[in-house]
Chains A and B, each alone.
Chain A
Amino acid sequence: MLFNSLDFALFFPVVFALYWFVAKDHLKWQNLLLLVASYFFYACWDWRFLFLLMFSTVLDYYTGLQMYDAKSQRMKRFWFWLSVGINLGFLGIFKYYNFFAESLAASLSAVGFHADFWTLQVILPVGISFYTFHGLSYVIDIYKDRIKPERNFVDYSVFVSFFPLLVAGPIERATHLLPQIQSKRVFDRNNAVDGLKQVLWGLFKKVVIADNCAEYVNMVFANSENYSASTHAVAAIFFAFQIYGDFSGYSDIALGTARLLGIDLLRNFSYPYFSRDIAEFWRRWHISLSTWFRDYLYIPLGGSKGGDWMRIRNTFIIFLVSGFWHGANWTFIVWGLLHALFIMPSVIFKTNRNNLEIVAAGRIFPKFKDLTAIVVTFGLTVFAWIFFRADSLAGAFQFIGEMFNASMFSKPEGVRNTTVWMIVALVVVEWLGREQKYGIAKLVDRWPLVLRWLFYYTIVFLIFEFRGSSQQFIYFQF
Chain B
Amino acid sequence: MKSFLIKLTVFVLIGAAAFHLKSYLLLRNDKYQRKVSAREVYHVIGKSQQKNPSRKVLIGDSVARQFFNSESENDTLNSLASNQAISLAGQYILLDNYLKAGNVIDTCYAVFIPSSFQNNLQQLFTYNYFVKPFYKDQYKPLLTETVKNQVEKIPYHGVAQYFGVLTNNWAPEFVSDDQQDYAFFSPVSVEYIHKMSALAKAKHFKLIFVPAVCNENQRKNIESFDKTELAKNHIEQEFAGYFDHIQYVDSKEFVDDMHLHAPEKFIHLYQNQIR
Chain A residues whose CB sits within 8 angstroms of the CB of B4 once the complex forms:
187, 189, 192-193
Q: Is the CB of B173 within 8 A of A225?
A: no
Whether B257 pairs with A222 at a CB distance below 8 angstroms is yes
Complex: chain B residue closest to A223, CB-CB: B256
B174-218: contact bitstring with A at CB < 8 Å (1 yes, 0 no)? 000000000000000000000000000000000000000000000
Assembly CA distance A189 to B3 (angstroms): 8
* Distance to closest chain B CB from A236 (angstroms): 18
Contact between B255 and A219, CB atoms less than 8 A apart:
yes
Docked CA distance A467–B252 (Å): 30
Assess whether A183 is interfacial by the CB under 8 Å rule. no
Whether A453 lies near B11 (C-beta < 8 A) is yes
Decide if A187 touches B1 in the complex (CB within 8 Å): yes
A464 at the interface (CB under 8 A from B): yes
CA distance A469 to B1 in the complex (A): 36
Answer whether residue A226 sits at the interface, using C-beta atoms and an 8 A cutoff.
yes
From B155, B168, B173, give the contact of A470 (CB < 8 A): B173
Q: Is the CB of B11 within 8 A of A222?
A: no
Kindly supply a per-residue 1/0 record for chain A positions 436-478, scoring 1 wherever the CB is within 8 Å of any chain B CB and 0 otherwise.
0000000000000000010011001000100101100000000
Number of interface residues of B (CB under 8 A): 25
User: Which single residue of chain A is at the shortest CB-CB distance from B175?
Assistant: A472
Is A431 part of the binding interface, using a Cβ–Cβ cutoff of 8 Å?
A: no
Contacting pair A7 B257 (CB below 8 A):
no
The reply on B251 being an interface residue by CB < 8 A is yes
Contact B252 A226 (CB under 8 A): yes
Interface centre among A222, A223, A414 (most CB of B within 10 A): A223
Residues of B14-39 contacting chain A, CB below 8 A? 14-15, 18-19
Does residue A330 face the partner (Cβ distance < 8 Å to B)?
no
| Interface flag for B8 (CB, 8 Å) | yes
In the complex with contacts A6-B156, A189-B1, A453-B11, A223-B172 CB distance below 8 A: no
A219:B256 contact, CB within 8 angstroms: yes
**Partner pick for B173 among A2, A187, A456, A464, CB 8 A cutoff:** A2
Determine the residue in chain B with the shortest Cβ distance to A190.
B4
Q: State whether A456 touches B11 (Cβ < 8 A).
A: yes
B243 at the A interface (CB under 8 A) = no
Task: Tell whether, in the assembled complex, residue A223 and residue B11 are in contact, meaning their CB atoms are under 8 Å apart.
Answer: no
* B169 proximity list for chain A (CB < 8 A): 467
Do A223 and B257 have beta carbons less than 8 Å apart?
A: yes
Q: Is the CB of A464 within 8 A of B11?
A: no
**Across the interface, do A460 and B15 meet the contact criterion of CB distance under 8 Å?**
yes
Q: Given A20-B1, A460-B15, does the pair A470, B171 have CB atoms closer than 8 Å?
A: yes
A5 close to B (CB within 8 Å) = yes
A452 to chain B, nearest CB (A): 10
A18 within 8 Å of B by Cβ?
Answer: no
Q: Considering the chains assembled together, what is the distance between the CA atoms of A11 and B171 in angstroms?
A: 18
Q: Max chain A CB contacts within 10 Å: which of B156, B254, B256, B257?
A: B256
B219 in the interface (beta carbon within 8 A)? no
- A196 on the B face (CB < 8 A): yes
Interface centre among A6, A196, A456 (most CB of B within 10 A): A6
Give per-residue flags for B236-265: 1 if the beta carbon is below 8 A from chain A beta carbons, else 0. 000000000000000110111100010000
Q: How many residues does chain A have at the interface if contact means C-beta atoms less than 8 Å apart?
A: 24
Q: Tell me the complex Cα distance, A460–B22, Å.
A: 14
Q: Are B168 and A464 in contact (CB under 8 A)?
A: yes
Residues of A within 8 A of B170 (CB): 6
A27-41 vs B, Cβ < 8 Å mask (1 yes, 0 no): 000000000000000
Chain B residue numbers with a CB within 8 Å of A467 are 169
Q: A7-B173, A226-B255 are in contact. Are A457 and B1 (CB under 8 A)?
A: no
- Chain B residues near A192 (CB, 8 Å)? 4
Query: Closest approach, in angstroms, between the C-beta of B125 and any C-beta of chain A?
Result: 9
Question: What's the A-B contact tally at a CB cutoff of 8 Å?
Answer: 49
Nearest Cβ on chain A to B80's Cβ, whole angstroms: 25
Query: Would you call B252 and A225 a contact (CB within 8 A)?
Result: yes
A5–B170 Cα distance when bound, in Å, is 10
Cα separation A207 to B272 with both chains bound (whole Å): 46
Contacts of A196 in B (CB 8 A): 8
Complex Cα distance, B252 from A225, in Å, reads 7
Alpha-carbon gap, A6 to B171, bound state (A): 9
Which residues on A sit within 8 Å (CB–CB) of B173?
2, 5, 7, 470
A5 touches B254 (CB 8 A): no
B266 to chain A, nearest CB (A): 15
Nearest CB to that of A414 among chain B residues? B255
Judging by beta carbons under 8 Å apart, are B261 and A226 in contact? yes
B238 to chain A, nearest CB (A): 32
- Name A6's closest neighbour in chain B (CB-CB): B172
Inside 8 A of B11's CB, which chain A residues have their CB? 453, 456
Q: Per-residue CB proximity of A290-330 to B under 8 Å, as 1/0? A: 00000000000000000000000000000000000000000
* B252–A464 touching, CB < 8 Å: no
Q: Which of A4-26 contact B (CB under 8 A)?
A: 5-7, 20
Q: For B3, what are the chain A residues with a Cβ–Cβ distance below 8 Å?
A: 189
Which of A6, A187, A457 makes the CB contact (< 8 A) with B18? A457
Chain A residues with Cβ under 8 A from B15's Cβ?
A: 457, 460
Q: When A470-B171, A470-B173 are in contact, do A223 and B254 touch as well, CB less than 8 Å?
A: yes
Interface centre among B251, B255, B257 (most CB of A within 10 A): B255
Contact present for A464 and B19 (CB under 8 Å): yes
Contacts of A6 in B (CB 8 A): 156, 170, 172
Instruction: Give bound CA distance, A225 to B261, whole Å.
Output: 13
Kindly provide the distance from the CB of A13 to the nearest chain B CB, expressed in whole angstroms. Answer: 10
- Residue among B4, B19, B254, B256 with the most chain A CB within 10 A? B4
In Å, the complex CA distance between A453 and B10 comes to 11
Q: Which residues of A contact B1 (CB under 8 A)?
A: 20, 187, 189
Which B residues are in CB contact (< 8 Å) with A187? 1, 4
B148-180 toward A: CB 8 Å interface, digit per residue (1/0)?
Answer: 000000011000000000001111110000000
Measured in the bound complex, the distance between the Cα atoms of B260 and A226 in whole Å is 10
Contacts of A470 in B (CB 8 A): 124, 171, 173
Q: What would 28 A/B residue contacts be, using CB atoms closer than 8 Å?
A: A5-B173, A6-B170, A6-B172, A7-B172, A20-B1, A187-B1, A187-B4, A189-B1, A189-B3, A192-B4, A196-B8, A222-B256, A223-B251, A223-B254, A223-B256, A223-B257, A225-B252, A226-B251, A226-B252, A226-B255, A226-B261, A414-B255, A453-B14, A457-B15, A457-B18, A464-B19, A464-B168, A469-B124
